[in-house]
A = this chain, B = another copy of it.
Amino acid sequence: MASDILQAFEPIFYPRSVAVIGASADISKFGNVILSAIMEVGYKGKVYPVNPEAEEINGLKVYPSLKEIPGEVDFAVLTIPAPLVSSALEECLRKGVKGAEILTSGFRETGTPEGRRMEEEIGRIAKRGIRILGPNCFGIYCPESGLTILPGQNFSREAGPVGFLSQSGGLCADLGQMAKGLGIRFSKMVSYGNGCDVAACDLLEYFFADPQTRIIAGYLEGVEDGPRFLEILKNNRGKKPVILWKAGLTETGSRAVMSHTGSLSGAAEVWKSVLQQWGVVQVGGAEELIDTIYAFLYLPGNAGPKVALMGGGGAIGVAASDALDRLGLSLPVLSPPILEKLKASFPAVGNSLKNPVDLGNPMIPPSMLRKVMEAAGEDGGIDTLVVIQILFYILYQVRHRLGRDDKPLSQFSFQPELLKACQEVQEKYGKPILLVLPDIVTDGKMIDLEIEWRRERDNYQAAGFPVFKTLDRAARALSHFVRYHQRLPA
């Protein structure tokens, strides 16, 4: 069965040829944006623009209709007015096209009888032998085969382990941008809009079967077939992490869902209990979604709820304690012998060593942090290390005080040394380490800090360590990871 669904979707995710029906030379039209994006992202198969009124677009020969295309067409992208969609699909059937995505909107989501009728017609055509994505969607992004979504042109060309399904195209576009610098890469991302044929159930089934997908994530407004959806989750429970943002759970949200994709959104409590029962990680927004995917990508399986938190600055410790406590994570006091050893390394004054470990000084030298990391590594009561290097902006201060305002910030950074400490401690004790590097500067003139931050983050990530901008975000993502692995107390 798994191989059936992989085979069925092969011409859709890995088409040998693609027709863009409604291709346009006008760069402001979707019909040009999508054609250009597919070409730029590096689709290697044949691309056939279709438009009765053009001869050449982006240097490609244009065909007046699908039937004039000489070779076979596996997949069609439709970006033509809604009333023309069903006859174009009929042509697709005649040409033997296996799959189509309909970018056009103006169907069920309008709430009009005409919109519903046209969408039902598409659904009926689909049953006659073509799989259809949309309408009212942004399409498929599959870096391995070179397909991309709207607008998509600057999406990463690298494939990765995350399969993403979404009723919102805008969220797919956003997620691709959010993911890019975080090293999150996708196997397939599918915006399915109104989902008149292919929708959540098929895609979930596909992602469970797809060997390229290790982590499944999604944005849902409603589900077309509840019992089937639950059956798929139940049958695959624990096989791959599933991270879902189910939106429209309030009254106002539910009304907005209706005008967006015309779905029925369902009651919040039902969704919550159902998703929890089948081991789904439920998130509540785009930031939480990306952070959770990020944690699942970077954290090793032994990340647990007993956290040692270290950094400088008491309020961070207090705020962190509040945040972790609320999320079911704990900050156990270090075990007595470890604590005694640690105390011997630090002056009694200006430090609080129990956990959270506050080393007083706002910019803590990595050599000091390393001692705490070693202690937490050695302590059998600690699962996970969270290192906060607060006052990142103090780099400015350090540079200024050394009279080197003309030099790049990177020359004054403690991060390379801290990264080395993280690597050595992790190698020695095998415990996961999360970094929290707040970059809170809002000043337009201090942009070099953001540049430096992104550079250092890339270095940590390349070494396998996730970097979060706030402790709250790190704690929430860790908590989802730990809960999924059922290591949280009830």
Tell me whether A55 is interfacial, beta carbon within 8 Å.
Answer: no
B455 touches A451 (CB 8 A): no
Stretch at the interface among A71-79, A121-129, A350-358, A378-386: A350-358
B173 touches A391 (CB 8 A): yes
**A467-484 CB contact bits vs B (8 Å, 1 = yes)?**
000101000000000000
A221 touches B313 (CB 8 A): no
Contact partners of A447 in chain B: CB under 8 A: 447, 450-451, 454
Contact partners of A252 in chain B: CB under 8 A: 321-322, 324-325, 330-331
**A295-339 CB contact bits vs B (8 Å, 1 = yes)?**
000000000000000001111111111111110001100000000
A180 touches B247 (CB 8 A): no
A321 touches B105 (CB 8 A): no
Contact partners of A109 in chain B: CB under 8 A: 314, 352
Tell me whether A112 is interfacial, beta carbon within 8 Å.
Answer: yes
> Which residues A172-229 have CB closer than 8 A to chain B?
173-174, 177-182, 219, 221
Tell me whether A400 is interfacial, beta carbon within 8 Å.
Answer: yes
Stretch at the interface among A93-101, A234-242, A438-446: A438-446
A168 touches B313 (CB 8 A): yes
Tell me whether A256 is interfacial, beta carbon within 8 Å.
Answer: yes
A318 touches B174 (CB 8 A): no
B326 touches A250 (CB 8 A): yes
A444 touches B82 (CB 8 A): no
Contact partners of A326 in chain B: CB under 8 A: 250
Tell me whether A160 is interfacial, beta carbon within 8 Å.
Answer: no
Contacts A170-B316, A360-B105 given; indicate if A441 touches B180 (C-beta within 8 A): yes
Contacts A251-B325, A256-B317, A312-B170 given; indicate if A110 touches B348 (C-beta within 8 A): yes
A285 touches B319 (CB 8 A): yes
B105 touches A442 (CB 8 A): no
Contact partners of A360 in chain B: CB under 8 A: 105
Tell me whether A261 is interfacial, beta carbon within 8 Å.
Answer: yes
B151 touches A394 (CB 8 A): yes
Tell me whether A34 is interfacial, beta carbon within 8 Å.
Answer: no
With both chains docked as a complex, state the minimum distance between the C-beta of A44 and any C-beta of chain B, in angstroms. Answer: 21
Tell me whether A376 is interfacial, beta carbon within 8 Å.
Answer: no
B260 touches A358 (CB 8 A): yes
Q: How far, in whole Å, are A177 and B360 apart by their CA atoms in the complex?
A: 19
Contact partners of A446 in chain B: CB under 8 A: 180-181
A458 closest partner in B (C-beta): B444
Tell me whether A390 is interfacial, beta carbon within 8 Å.
Answer: yes
Count of chain copies: 2
Pick from A253, A261, A362, A394 the residue with the most CB of B within 10 Å. A253
Q: How far, in whole Å, are A284 and B348 apart by their CA atoms in the complex?
A: 31
Q: How far, in whole Å, are A259 and B349 apart by their CA atoms in the complex?
A: 11
Q: How far, in whole Å, are A441 and B325 apart by their CA atoms in the complex?
A: 31
Contact partners of A33 in chain B: CB under 8 A: 397, 401
> Which residues A356-405 have CB closer than 8 A to chain B?
356, 358, 360, 362, 390-391, 393-394, 396-397, 400-402
Tell me whether A249 is interfacial, beta carbon within 8 Å.
Answer: yes
A314 closest partner in B (C-beta): B260
Contact partners of A8 in chain B: CB under 8 A: none
Q: How far, in whole Å, are A470 and B112 apart by their CA atoms in the complex?
A: 32
Contact partners of A256 in chain B: CB under 8 A: 314, 317-318, 320-321, 331, 356
Pick from A319, A440, A442 the residue with the most CB of B within 10 Å. A442
With both chains docked as a complex, state the minimum distance between the C-beta of A393 and any C-beta of chain B, in angstroms. Answer: 5
Contact partners of A171 in chain B: CB under 8 A: 313, 315
With both chains docked as a complex, state the minimum distance between the C-beta of A396 and any C-beta of chain B, in angstroms. Answer: 6
Tell me whether A231 is interfacial, beta carbon within 8 Å.
Answer: no
A321 touches B170 (CB 8 A): no
Q: How far, in whole Å, are A396 and B40 apart by their CA atoms in the complex?
A: 14
B315 touches A247 (CB 8 A): yes
Contact partners of A472 in chain B: CB under 8 A: 285, 287
27 pairs, CB–CB < 8 Å, chain A vs chain B: A36-B401, A106-B348, A110-B348, A112-B348, A154-B397, A154-B400, A167-B315, A169-B313, A170-B313, A170-B390, A171-B313, A174-B438, A174-B440, A180-B446, A181-B442, A181-B443, A247-B318, A250-B325, A250-B326, A257-B318, A260-B314, A260-B352, A286-B315, A286-B319, A442-B454, A444-B455, A447-B447
Q: What 16 new A-B contacts, CB under 8 Å, besides A170-B312, A250-B322, A255-B354?
A: A33-B397, A33-B401, A36-B401, A109-B352, A153-B400, A168-B313, A170-B391, A174-B438, A178-B441, A180-B442, A248-B318, A259-B354, A260-B315, A260-B358, A285-B319, A287-B472
